[in-house]
A = this chain, B = another copy of it.
Amino acid sequence: MTRSGPDPRQPRLRIRILFGERAMLGPGKAELLERIAEGGSIAAAGRAMGMSYKRAWSLVEEMNAAFREPLVARARGGPGGGGAALTAAGESVLRNYRDLEALTAEAGAERIRAIEALLGDMSGER
């Protein structure tokens, strides 16, 4: 799966939400949720992000434990099999996080441009 994504020359925001000691949600977990939703597999989602199966699993379990309802549901099918999907709660968390990204990029655009205008032009950039 390839992602075209935004223009790499454009400034991008990476947003992390810290819910005190209860949970933390950032770009990595959001991408993991999104890839699980698209591909139906925790292992494949982790692999696409260069993550070990164990790491992807542990992030999913962390999210499932932190929220009132699990964000990711596994279908039965033995180790590594059976597939996975987002629950309604998982879809809601992902959608709200993506909305947050879009809203903040819009709200902050002027400030980001002001900082960018002060950057060097890096003519020697590789």
Q: With A and B bound together, what is the CA distance between A112 and B65 in angstroms?
A: 18
Whether A8 pairs with B20 at a CB distance below 8 angstroms is: yes
Interface string of A5-30 (1 = CB under 8 A from B): 00011111111111111110110000
Contact of A22 among B13, B97, B114, B120 (CB under 8 A): B120
Interface of chain A: mostly helix, strand, loop or mixed: mixed
Which chain A residues (82-126) contact chain B, with CB distance < 8 Å? Answer: 89, 92-93, 96-97, 99-100, 103-104, 106-108, 111-112, 114-116, 118-122, 125-126
- A57: chain B residues at CB < 8 Å are none
A16 / chain B contacts, CB cutoff of 8 Å:
13-16
Beta-carbon contact of A11 and B15 below 8 Å = no
Q: Which one of A8, A9, A122 has the greatest number of beta carbons of chain B within 10 Å?
A: A122
B100, B115, B125, B126: which contacts A25 (Cβ < 8 A)? B115
A-B CB contact pairs (8 Å), 22 listed: A8-B20, A11-B19, A14-B15, A14-B17, A15-B15, A15-B16, A15-B104, A19-B115, A19-B119, A21-B125, A21-B126, A22-B119, A23-B119, A65-B120, A68-B120, A96-B111, A96-B115, A97-B111, A100-B112, A103-B104, A103-B111, A107-B108
